[in-house]
Structure 1
């Protein structure tokens, strides 16, 4: 697929994901959008769906091949999808990511930042904390200054 067409599909996927529009997400993915491709700001579609708590959109992206542990590099949208969902207590999205293999102990910033459990505990989001612990997350000493998810 041509670079220009992939860029256009990526923009459409980002827009549909931002809107939580599952029908449009499905259509753009069927048209050949890469579920791993970052938008112009460097944000992955799965991170965007996760931070907004769009569990069904996250499911579609994961089914289309998005990797659950890919770290987003977008400005103001850095981090892993699981950290983003845990930060805001989006338990259904957390469940979906864990079911698709997200690592409950994976720290952001290439392993030096906060873990999903750190974010959920800081929330505080007790239901999300319980879910992550049940999935094997371990609370460790967290780095001092978190970034906002």
Structure 2
């Protein structure tokens, strides 16, 4: 696919995510866009769907091969999809990400930032925190105690 077509499809994909248009997301994915292709600003499609609580769209992206642990680097859109969903208490989106193999202990900022459970607890989003804990998430203190 040439660069011009890829850019056009990318714009359509991000527009569809922002307008919660799952049918359009499906169509753009069928047209061949890479579901891991970040925007020109560095935001990944899965991060955008996750931070907006779009569980159905996240599922479409994951089914199309989006990596559940890829960190987004867009300005104001930095972090992992799981942290983004946990931060806002989007439990259904968290469930989808975990079902597709997202690491419940993966910290943002290339391993130096907050974990999904940190975000869920800070929310506070107890239902999301329970789901993460059931998936094996631990707090930073728990992880340090286990190592020490």
Common fold, TM-score beyond 0.5? yes
Tell me by how many angstroms 1:41 deviates: 1.6
1:109 corresponds to which residue? Answer: 109
Superposed CA deviations along residues 75-114 of structure 1, whole A, max 9, x for unmatched, are 0000000000000000000000000000000000000000
Give the TM-score normalised by the residue count of structure 2. 0.94
Gap runs ≥5 in structure 1: 142-149
1:61 corresponds to which residue? Answer: 61
Greater Rg by CA: 2
Distance 2:18 2:40 in 1: 14
Distance 2:20 2:139 in 1: 31
Between Structure 1 and Structure 2, how many residues are aligned? 141
Gap runs ≥5 in structure 2: 142-148
1:138 corresponds to which residue? Answer: 138
2:83 corresponds to which residue? Answer: 83
The 4+ residue runs of structure 1 with deviation greater than 3 A are none
Superposed CA deviations along residues 57-85 of structure 1, whole A, max 9, x for unmatched, are 00000000100000000000000000000
- SS of residue paired to 1:48: helix
Tell me by how many angstroms 1:52 deviates: 0.3
Give the TM-score normalised by the residue count of structure 1. 0.93
Superposed CA deviations along residues 22-64 of structure 1, whole A, max 9, x for unmatched, are 0000000011111000112210000000000000000000000
Higher helix share: 2
Distance 1:115 1:96 in 2: 17
1:100 corresponds to which residue? Answer: 100
Distance 2:62 2:55 in 1: 10
